[in-house]
Structure 1
Amino acid sequence: MPESTYDVLIVGAGIAGSSLAHALSTLPRSKPLRIGLLERSLAEPDRIVGELLQPGGVSALRTLGLEPCLEGIDAIPVRGYCVVEDGKSVHIPYPGAHEGRSFHHGRFIMALRDAARRARGVEVVEATVTDLIEEEGRVVGVRAARKAGAEKEAFYANLVVIADGCFSNFRTAVMGSAGAKSTTSSHFVGAVLEDARLPIPNHGTVALIKGFGPVLLYQISERDTRMLVDVKTPLPSDLKAHILTNIVPQLPSALHLPIQIALDRDRIRRMPNSFLPPVEQGSKPGVILLGDSWNMRHPLTGGGMTVALNDVVMLRTLLGEVSNLTDADEMKRLLHQWHWARKPLSSTINILSVALYDLFGADDEQLAVLRTGCFKYFERGGECVNGPVSLLSGIAPSPMLLANHFFSVAFYSIWVMFTHSLPVRSSPDAKLVYTVARVDQYPFLFFKAIRVFWTACVVFGPLLWSEIRWWAPTDTRRRNVVFAKAALPVLAVMGGLVWTLRVL
């Protein structure tokens, strides 16, 4: 069996794998690392996600020296968002001069792979990895075949990094029983629109669709615009009919014809929207999970690449301080340090992605109240926009700031419910009438307000706990975890109430 030996072996040449290969090649060492980058297919990938890089991700790319990968791929500057509901829109710009980028996913991947291929000490190999090689409980390499039916080769390394994406074949083998289970609540159904006109140029559009999930639209090249339609499981038998009948009528009229043409011309593709909280690694020596193979969040906020690139920035720095990659104790300390260091950004984006999806894809009365309140919260502008978009874009990584704004939205939603005009229909066939609640309706609204606030806690609390419960896996830190579980939501509620009173 043919053999190859490396210092670091990376499985998967996607966003995380290619970036890490290049990043490790730049470590200041007397002897450059020998890095192997294995990828099943080096052809340009064609995916419907991974096409919007937030400003925080652009900053990480710049830190890694990979910002030139955004050039020459027809990437589009992104300066914020436009949220649309019922024909109304609210502008949510990135603060200051911050910009993101949107692009065809495959073109960006090819640029990253080219950068890795040119990097010092990196060897890119097209091969399908089939097995991990273990010796005495330690991963020492992988087996892979360069072509279908070809003899498997052994690739050995002091450290193996698994970055094979959301459908990872090795997640369970690495994490074992300690690993969390991914959950999928919906799918994104994607199409590319030609020459579509969005409400605000160079801004992503989030359309809130009553009775269904949100729709995302953003330009990915000079003429192409990506449309992602959220469809809850189980999926309709006829996706095209579902989009044309239920979704398109609620979108801006300028988009109707481009959508019709795109659906007639191209096959409809879909991608699961999965959530996988990160579990601290280190139980199996010699191997690390990176990117979506380890941690996933809902793609609504476009934060996946930002988290992955920031993980690479931190991992590169930490690995640069390790003298012996085969020292199990040293590597376990490194992984523990990495797990904590990445929390402010990863937890913020992970929690926000699912919480915002629950609000934007409101499927019950209480969530609908929160969605309306969220939209009106954005309409206030100022810090009611700057704070949330700074969290979403990776500019302000702070779970506590996120909790503050989330519960501010909850309290403000209750205020809106009492004081703003709400739609009322006297009968199923009657026309909607907008009216402010009467005083005699206040007792009912008071109890409804309690249910709305409880719904907000049910949305946010488990997400927060899914992140903080892995921070302290040892018995010595257990009391700290219990305290955090009890105290953080209380502090978030108090902060949200104070902020809302200031807003009002």
Structure 2
Amino acid sequence: MYSTHYDVVIVGAGVAGSALAHALTASPIASSSRHKPLRIALLERSLAQPDRIVGELLQPGGVLALRELGMEDCLDGIDAVPVKGYCVAKEGETVQIPYPGKHEGRSFHHGPFIQRLREKALAAPGVDTIEATVSELIECPLTGRILGVKATRKDGGPEKEPFYGDLVVVADGCFSNFRTKVMGRAGIESETKSYFVGAVLEDAKLPIPHHGTVALVQGQGPVLLYQIGEHDTRMLVDVKKPLPSDLKHHILTNIVPQLPSSLHLPITNALEKERLRQMPNSWLPPAEQGTKHSKEGVILIGDSWNMRHPLTGGGMTVAFNDVVILSKLLLQINDFSDWDAMSHALHQWHWSRKSLSSTVNILSVALYDLFGADDEYLAVLRNGCFKYFERGGECVNGPVSLLSAVAQDPFLLFRHFFAVAFYSIWCMFTHPRRVSSSTSDKLVLAAPGLDEYPALFVKAFWVFWTACVVFGPLMWTEIRWW
């Protein structure tokens, strides 16, 4: 059977796979690091334009990574919209959270952006882009090392045709077929925390133009909205398990009344015209690769290896940053079949990426737990977070620098998270809240009285404990040694 040997075989031509193929052959990194060009097989089940409801927001840190890879022009010609920050909306109030300095992100339809990434990979010297379904990894019966993959081309040819490579990179996304095979005992099970239900709104007016909107909905998960084209705005509604039997009724009844009034009509029109689509919001911490527990000859990258909640839109930013770091390390290795050298490079990669990936991963889940508050202590933290942003200054600049991946520091995130926790407790003691009037049935604003302080001290302890329970395990999962 005909086969070809490559330096690298990449499974999946999505965000991470296409970027890595280009980075190893045609990026500024490659041109300055390697004299002999690499031969790469980029295998993708379908090269037709994909249609997904996530992967439509690139944070400023991701734009910077694309620039370093020489792929920033992939944002051109796809009706991409500049994103200048966020707007958090809660019970009729809004707070603006602009990106620091002159940094900008981009939002767009997912499909055209992926096609532009693939075009860059197709044009790269030494890259063979092949439309084929990969069915299995080729494993050496004596050593257990992965030698390549078997795939069936879409345009015909032999079934399970072998493609051999010194290194196999699996970048087949969140529903990876090979994650368990590659990681073995070192692997971690992904956890689905909720689902995003998506729709596209026509000519919707967001509270602040060119700002993503995060709407905090009482008793429900958050709603995320951002413009992805001149006339199109993506709406993602977080829905916890089990999903309601009638999602449209759920959104119209429980979600829409709590959103800004300018969005009511576009949402109603969208729900009448289109089918709602769902994507799981999964959490998958990264386990170190290249150890004795993972397979030799193969590595995972992108969502096949590491996922975070998409609330903060950090997935593609982490993927591009991973490609920048990994490609620099791989291009210093003369022989990818030398697994001692590969293991050393993978160890460096695992810890070099931590400053950004850990920040984005922890922030995504911590913010989701606060914004999707489903108990009274998390609700205190959510209200305190909103009021913390209202303070402006460093209370906005610090968190948004982390969210945008411009700042890469898990311990700065630690400082701001617990500043929010303590400020939430302060607000609980001092800020007016709605209570029943003693003279009427109406709700009035009133600060807590001294007689309420003993109970509030007890509640304050549980609020702080809840903050520790939310943040501590996330931080430990990211920094511990695998």
Q: The TM-score by the shorter chain falls in which range?
A: over 0.9
Offset of residue 430 of structure 1: 4.7
Q: Which residue of 2 aligns with 1:138?
A: 145
Write out per-residue CA displacement over residues 248-280 of structure 1, whole angstroms, 9 at most, x where no aligned residue.
000011101100111111100000000000000
Q: Which residue of 2 aligns with 1:502?
A: none
Q: Which residue of 1 aligns with 2:473?
A: 462
Q: Which residue of 2 aligns with 1:179?
A: 187
Q: Secondary structure at the match of 1:127?
A: strand
Offset of residue 415 of structure 1: 0.4
Distance in 2 between the 1:172 and 1:423 partners?
51
- 1:10 corresponds to which letter in structure 2? I
- 1:100 corresponds to which letter in structure 2? G
Distance in 2 between the 1:355 and 1:165 partners?
23
Offset of residue 324 of structure 1: 1.1
Q: Which residue of 1 aligns with 2:257?
A: 249
Match of 1:311 among 307, 315, 322: 322
Within 5 Å, which residues of 2 pair with 1:28-427? 28=31, 29-135=34-140, 136-147=143-154, 151-282=159-290, 283-425=294-436
Q: Secondary structure at the match of 2:24?
A: helix
Distance in 2 between the 1:436 and 1:93 partners?
31
Question: How many residues are paired up?
Answer: 470
Q: Which residue of 2 aligns with 1:8?
A: 8
Relative to structure 2, which stretch is displaced further, 23-32 or 178-187?
A: 23-32
- 1:138 corresponds to which letter in structure 2? R
Distance in 1 between the 2:442 and 2:222 partners?
25
Q: Secondary structure at the match of 1:60?
A: helix
Offset of residue 425 of structure 1: 4.2
- 2:197 corresponds to which letter in structure 1? V
Write out per-residue CA displacement over residues 34-73 of structure 1, whole angstroms, 9 at most, x where no aligned residue.
0110000000000000000000000000000000000000
Distance in 2 between the 1:83 and 1:126 partners?
42
Write out per-residue CA displacement over residues 388-427 of structure 1, whole angstroms, 9 at most, x where no aligned residue.
0000010001000000000000000000000101122479
Offset of residue 177 of structure 1: 1.5
- 2:4 corresponds to which letter in structure 1? S
Write out per-residue CA displacement over residues 354-384 of structure 1, whole angstroms, 9 at most, x where no aligned residue.
0000000000000000000000000000000
Q: Secondary structure at the match of 1:25?
A: coil
Offset of residue 5 of structure 1: 1.6
Offset of residue 139 of structure 1: 0.6
Distance in 2 between the 1:174 and 1:254 partners?
49
Cα distance 1:83–1:293, how it changes in 2: closer, same or farther (>3 A)?
same
- 1:41 corresponds to which letter in structure 2? S
Q: Which runs of 5+ in 1 are unaligned?
A: 474-504
Q: Where has structure 1 moved over 4 Å in runs of 4 or more?
A: none
Relative to structure 2, which stretch is displaced further, 418-427 or 94-103?
A: 418-427
- 1:276 corresponds to which letter in structure 2? L
Distance in 2 between the 1:366 and 1:423 partners?
17
Match of 1:434 among 431, 442, 445: 445
Distance in 1 between the 2:129 and 2:191 partners?
33
Distance in 1 between the 2:116 and 2:155 partners?
26
- 1:356 corresponds to which letter in structure 2? L
Relative to structure 2, which stretch is displaced further, 30-39 or 48-57?
A: 30-39
Offset of residue 313 of structure 1: 0.1
Distance in 1 between the 2:232 and 2:402 partners?
28
Offset of residue 284 of structure 1: 1.2
Distance in 2 between the 1:280 and 1:351 partners?
17
- 1:238 corresponds to which letter in structure 2? D
- 1:17 corresponds to which letter in structure 2? G
Relative to structure 2, which stretch is displaced further, 3-12 or 412-421?
A: 3-12
Distance in 2 between the 1:447 and 1:382 partners?
31
TM (norm. structure 1) is 0.92
Q: Which residue of 1 aligns with 2:21?
A: 21
Offset of residue 353 of structure 1: 0.2
Offset of residue 468 of structure 1: 1.3
Distance in 1 between the 2:274 and 2:416 partners?
40
- 2:151 corresponds to which letter in structure 1? A
Distance in 2 between the 1:290 and 1:161 partners?
7
- 1:24 corresponds to which letter in structure 2? L
- 1:199 corresponds to which letter in structure 2? P
Cα distance 1:153–1:435, how it changes in 2: closer, same or farther (>3 A)?
same
Relative to structure 2, which stretch is displaced further, 215-224 or 1-10?
A: 1-10
- 1:375 corresponds to which letter in structure 2? F
Distance in 1 between the 2:309 and 2:382 partners?
17
Distance in 2 between the 1:281 and 1:320 partners?
18
Distance in 1 between the 2:238 and 2:341 partners?
43
- 2:108 corresponds to which letter in structure 1? F
- 2:116 corresponds to which letter in structure 1? A
Distance in 1 between the 2:201 and 2:441 partners?
36
Q: Which runs of 5+ in 2 are unaligned?
A: none
Alignment RMSD, CA only?
1.3
Q: Secondary structure at the match of 2:168?
A: strand
Offset of residue 163 of structure 1: 0.3
Within 5 Å, which residues of 2 pair with 1:485-504? none
Distance in 1 between the 2:425 and 2:116 partners?
48
Offset of residue 147 of structure 1: 2.9
- 1:437 corresponds to which letter in structure 2? P
